[in-house]
Amino acid sequence: MKCKLLLSICFSLFLLNGINAQEYYWSSQKKNPLTVDSKRAVLHLVENSALEARLRTNSSFEKIERISEHSVMIVIKDNGKLLSDEITGIASNSIASFLDNNGEPIIPTGEILFEPKKGVSISEVNKVCENQLTVLDKEYSNYTVLVKDYARIFELANKLYESGLVEYSHPNFIGTLVKFQNDPLYPQQYYLNNTGQFGGTAGIDINGPQALTITEGLTDVKVAVIDDGVENHIDINGRVLSGYTVGNPNGNGSPAAGAAHGQACAGIIGASLNNNEGITGIAPCTEIVPIDIFSNINASAGQIRDAIDWAWDEGEADVLSNSWGYPASDAITQAIGRARTQGRNGRGSVVVFASGNSGGAVSFPGNVSGVLTVGAIDRNGNLWAYSSRGPQMDVVAPTGNVNLLGDVRTTDRPGINGYVNGNYVDTFGGTSAACPQVAGVAALMLSFDPFMTESQVKNIIKFTATGTGFNNNVGHGRLNAQAALQQVTPKILGPSKFCPSGVMKVGEVSGGTISWSVSPSNSLSFTQGASTNTFTRIGSFSGSATITATLNPACGTTRVITKNVTVGGTINFTWSGVGPFGQLDVNVTSGTAPYKIYRGSTLLYSGYSNPRTVNFGCNGGVLKVEANTACGIASKSVIVPQGCASFRGQSAMVVFPNPTSFELNIAQLDEFKEARSEDDIGSGELQLYDFDGNKIKSHKFSRIGHDTKMNLSDLKKGVYILRIIAKEVDEVHQVIVR
């Protein structure tokens, strides 16, 4: 059909061919209504074709822009001229652009995004869509497909969603990517430490300095700043990594000319500490993964989905910081879900979003379930009118307002914003500046304990916030970096038992060292240096050991971490007695025959009976039991106090004064001395134990009455067990320190 009409009329013909004046798409389990945008249209057009070149020279178009390899967008001039027959002939495969409820453009790309439910094949999906689909890409079970007839994109996407065969389905589209930024001035970082400067209320801050006294960082953490790009900066000190740019495989996340929003967010998160330069970051050793989703002003939902997936997967980001908004998209929601569940080797990446600057409901994707949603308060603790709010709120952080002096100072790029001293800006604010504060605290927590799950980090941040309970305006309250970090303890991850070996792990440090040690040294063998280390039992050692890791990062705080472990098999037993003639009942509750029971080094029993009564004697001593385990023979010892009180004559020694608060003396009983031909029992040792069997102190003596004294003045009040060992004596006494 030849068209000799005005361009606006001609477009209305092909746009209304199979397309309603009002359309919708499914996202977040609801219909999102759209209206036709009479200024824009999308045409299926082969890239670099002669027809595309001719279209670009047509004076009726305000703009023609390629939005994918198979589609172009045309913007019509208000006074558009007549189209030639050749140009209007392309209208057979085209679709209108649309506007959402906020009047923002929703520009279809000619594609549909969806994820089939488990067990549903692509052929089943294509059948529902009348074989209109050509698969362009599949990743993480999510499909991007091209639709043959552009006019049917919404019809087919909705039909597929309503079939119940998919988790989600909606057209791929280009929306307006909004940076949540305000532009006031403020020369100091009051959000870290509010002393009342510039009329603020002292203490309305996030307790940043207090958190940094706990740690400046310990192990490597990466934060993806998903924004308009980040480049290296004198105050980030080489910690900006190679990243990802939408639409440009060689962009590496570097900002385009004039872009500095991501640079400002990165400074709040990770600017260096104590380097005589600029500002202090909340997590000053963090590595920044730059993700530029603004370089292509027409970034589609599918491209943003891919950028989020790249951040947690290829970029290996532990935290994703997002100070932007976009029209609702299940494809983006699904990517956020993958980051939260599959990131960090299954522990989940922490995803943080600004709530938005509309003053209304929380913006998408800040309203996606499971993200940490951050609003904005002023330096007096009052909610900013612009801060979006609702039941999805988690916490708030102090920041500034539009066109007022006193905003957040952070890193900048040359010649972009207020630009202070060549590298900094003092006109940053809004929920854009609040979001990276939370991302920085999450990063600092994960640097201290990289083994926490995503949900653990989120819950700590929410429930340590300064507030009086949840409400829709501020969530759980004001971010409290100190309180959050106090809930985190660095740890060695690994087994508590070694039979015969086990793998221990600490977080990796960048440019620093990790050293390991074991006490006792004859318990476990290992290698030095690595964050993951295999410890192996030495010989037949059985018992307790302590593994120590010393982490000395190039950036951050040296930390010594210990873990108590058991080497070899373990047994347990109970004992009762001592009977009137020195009998002791022993019952092995964990361990297999044959059993051996000792008093000190004297074997009392060897055999298969359990429980077993042995003649232990009345003077107490060390009871040791051996039994078999899966790791071979293991033993356990306990101290048995003196018994058989009515047969005191069997005791050779007396201790006095008892109770005591200073010194304990040991002497022979007179009746014992009279029964012997010599006055002294010779040299020996005094050993003092607590009731858990831990040796507290010991003292060797040359002869009784000469140096058989023990100073107890340094001990806590309580009951202890004294063991006296000599040539003819091995007995135990109870000692009271008061």
3-state SS class at 705 = coil
Chain centre to alpha carbon of residue 675: 73
Q: Is 677 exposed, middle or buried (0-12, 13-18, 19+ CB in 10 A)?
A: exposed
Element (H, E) at 454: helix 454-463
DSSP letter for 198, please: G
> Catalytic site residue 261?
yes
How far is the first Cα of the chain from the last one, in angstroms, to the nearest whole number?
A: 108
d(CA 626, CA 28): 64
- Half-sphere exposure (CA, 13 Å, Cβ side) for 621? 22
**Contact status, residue 165 vs residue 342, Cβ threshold 8 Å:** no
Pairing of strands 583-590, 592-599: unpaired
3-state SS class at 351 = strand
Q: Which of the residues 227, 330, 412, 449 is marked catalytic?
A: 227
CA proximity to 111, closest of 42, 171, 175: 171
Chain centre to alpha carbon of residue 354: 18
Q: Which of the residues 94, 321, 432, 542 is marked catalytic?
A: 432
> Residues with Cβ < 8 Å from 653, sequence gap 6 or more?
666, 667, 668, 669, 672, 704, 724, 729, 731, 733
Amino acid found at 407 = D
- Token code pair at residue 88: 């209007």
Q: Which of the residues 261, 363, 378, 651 is marked catalytic?
A: 261
> Catalytic site residue 292?
no
- Cα–Cα–Cα angle for 316, 321, 324, nearest 5°? 130
d(CA 356, CA 366): 8
Cα–Cα distances (Å) from 541 to 321, 445, 566, 586, 695, in that order, read: 49, 37, 10, 24, 19
- Residue whose entry in the numeric block shows the structure tokens 């709010």: 389
d(CA 245, CA 236): 20
**Contact status, residue 626 vs residue 635, Cβ threshold 8 Å:** yes
Can you list the positions of beta strands (E) in 255-318?
A: 287-292
Pairing of strands 324-325, 178-179: antiparallel
Q: Is 656 exposed, middle or buried (0-12, 13-18, 19+ CB in 10 A)?
A: exposed
Q: Provide the residue count of the chain.
A: 738
> Residues with Cβ < 8 Å from 53, sequence gap 6 or more?
none
DSSP 28-45: TTEEEEEEEEEEEEEEE-
- What residues form DSSP beta bridges with 661? none
Q: What is the CA radius of gyration of the chain?
A: 37
Dmax (CA) of the chain = 136
> Residues with Cβ < 8 Å from 362, sequence gap 6 or more?
355, 356, 373, 388, 389, 390, 392, 393
> Catalytic site residue 699?
no
Element (H, E) at 640: strand 632-640
**Phi, psi values for residue 341, rounded to 5°:** -110, -35
**Phi, psi values for residue 62, rounded to 5°:** -70, -35
d(CA 76, CA 73): 10
DSSP letter for 478, please: B
- Annotated catalytic residues are 227, 261, 432
